[in-house]
Amino acid sequence: MRKTINNLKKHVFYEILNSHGRVFIIVKHSDNVVIGKRGFTKEEKEKGLILVFNTQMNFDWQDDALTAKLVFGTKAEHCFIPSDDIICVFSPELNLQFTTLGVYEDNNNKIEDEPPKKHKDDEQKGKIIKVDFSKKEKT
């Protein structure tokens, strides 16, 4: 499942890039991510780092990671971004985004990240909205 999700991220990335010329990604903070000597700021560690790629840039996305030399201000940094740590691929111009909340699976497979936990008071406070997507016959 994890490989399938990462392949989907890569596919969406290149589809947006090839059709529109630029694509944005959000990278979550992880010890596996290398953003040159710069690293992550305090805010980026909490919210993620937004990176922009265009067709003129030199980068490579192999099966497990995106590598690139990116410029921050006036300084170029060598970057290594594992596919697992890319949590969103998007295009503001196309009003399109592909977001993952983490990889978790059933059927005795390893759990990478857990889905968000519900608090029992949330439903009573109106924080959870239940939606029934089942088809109903018109009368």
Tens digits of per-residue pLDDT, 24-66? 999 999 999 999 999 999 999 999 999 999 999 999 999 799 9
Tell me the per-residue pLDDT of 89-117, one tens digit each, with 9 for 90 and over.
Answer: 999 999 999 999 865 444 455 545 544 45
Distance of alpha carbon 124 from the chain centroid:
31
**Dihedral (C-alpha) 51, 53, 56, 60: value to the nearest 10 degrees?**
100
> CA–CA distance from 66 to each of 13, 44, 135 (Å)?
11, 18, 42
* Closest listed residue to residue 25, CA positions, set 14, 34, 36: 14
Full DSSP string of 87-122: EEEEETTTTEEEE-------TTPPPSSPPPPPPHHH
CB hemisphere CA count around 86 (13 angstroms): 32
Going from the C-alpha of 53 to that of each of 14, 33, 82, the distances in angstroms are 10, 17, 16
Q: In the prediction, which pLDDT does 96 show?
A: 94
Name the pTM for this structure: 0.72
Output the pLDDT for position 63: 77
* Token pair listed for 35: 């953003």
Backbone angles phi, psi at 13, to 5 degrees: -55, -55
pLDDT of residue 109: 52
Q: What's the pLDDT score for residue 106?
A: 47
| H/E stretch holding 81 | strand 75-82
CB 81 within 8 A of CB 61: no
